[in-house]
Structure 1
């Protein structure tokens, strides 16, 4: 849902507020992420996949359609819905950094209900912090950084960095093209071991 700069400011504000709802309500984020992965689905599919009551599923789908982040792709019964592409860059309140809201970030936010590590990280560092962690998670799975480098860069503990990197790994593999290097857990730089003592 990337908007050209020729759009009226009201459209841009409406878009941001729509996406802000996704970031504030994990169940809406979870629904959006499901539709983004599924390409399109019916409300029954949503109910089955996300274990939602019928009224809740219809309410959420309609909210996302009204917000402009989900579109009706087949208007005859049963209606089918698809997620609109979202790619919106925003600045933090302090204005010290920018981050991009993507389907991968929305999916990560949606997982806070079922993943305590993601939930805790968002509570401590906000969605902007989670976006930064997601960037490190992609780089880590590509072999470009370690959890220790992330911890040093972000001034967090190595344990906190490792926990969020592990929690974000399923999101990384869902949305990014990561080559399997075959590295095992024992090869990861997860703490001091015998090699550090030598």
Structure 2
């Protein structure tokens, strides 16, 4: 669901409202993120993976289909559903900052219900703050920044930066292609502490 210049304003607004619903309800975001990660699933598979009651699962799927962020890819039963691509750029009025709403951000918001660190960060800094932190988390996993640089840039404590970077690490590893940095212990030529002499 990319916003493009040739789309009617009504379509862009509908897309934005659909995405806003995902960002406001972590359970919906969690279901969308699961489909974005896994590719496709039936309602039963969603129930099993996300520990949802049958009525709740069907209600969430129907709401997301109506919002246009997931779609059925089969007509036969059981229907299989996929997530539509979301890539919507939003500019905040207060700071004139832009951030992009992606499946990774929606996944991070979905984890709000089960991760107190993400929940607290959103309460303090909003969704735009979480989007910014996610950008830093990607850069951190690529070895390009540290939590101290993030803290300095965003005027938050080093501890708060480290906590949110750690909380976002699983999201980054699931959604971004991050090359392993450095060597693991098994790759180092480390002796057993005894000397041959």
Provide the C-alpha distance between the structure 2 equivalents of 1:183 and 1:86, rounded to a whole number of angstroms. Answer: 35
- Name the structure 1 match of 2:3: 3
TM-score, reference length from structure 2 = 0.91
Q: CA RMSD in A?
A: 1.1
Q: List per-residue Cα deviations over 1:58-93 (Å, max 9, x = no partner).
A: 000010001000011111100000000000000113
Give the match's secondary structure for 2:145.
coil
Deviation at residue 95 of structure 1 after TM alignment: 4.8
Provide the C-alpha distance between the structure 2 equivalents of 1:124 and 1:91, rounded to a whole number of angstroms. Answer: 19
Give the match's secondary structure for 2:82.
strand
Q: List per-residue Cα deviations over 1:124-180 (Å, max 9, x = no partner).
A: 000000000000000011110000000000000000000000000000100111111
Gaps of 5+ in 1: 185-198
Gaps of 5+ in 2: 185-197
Provide the C-alpha distance between the structure 2 equivalents of 1:59 and 1:94, rounded to a whole number of angstroms. Answer: 35
Q: 4+ runs of 1 displaced by more than 2 Å? A: none
Larger Rg: 2
TM-score, reference length from structure 1 = 0.91
Provide the C-alpha distance between the structure 2 equivalents of 1:75 and 1:94, rounded to a whole number of angstroms. Answer: 45
Q: List per-residue Cα deviations over 1:5-50 (Å, max 9, x = no partner).
A: 1211111101000000000000000000000111110000010000
- Name the structure 1 match of 2:150: 150
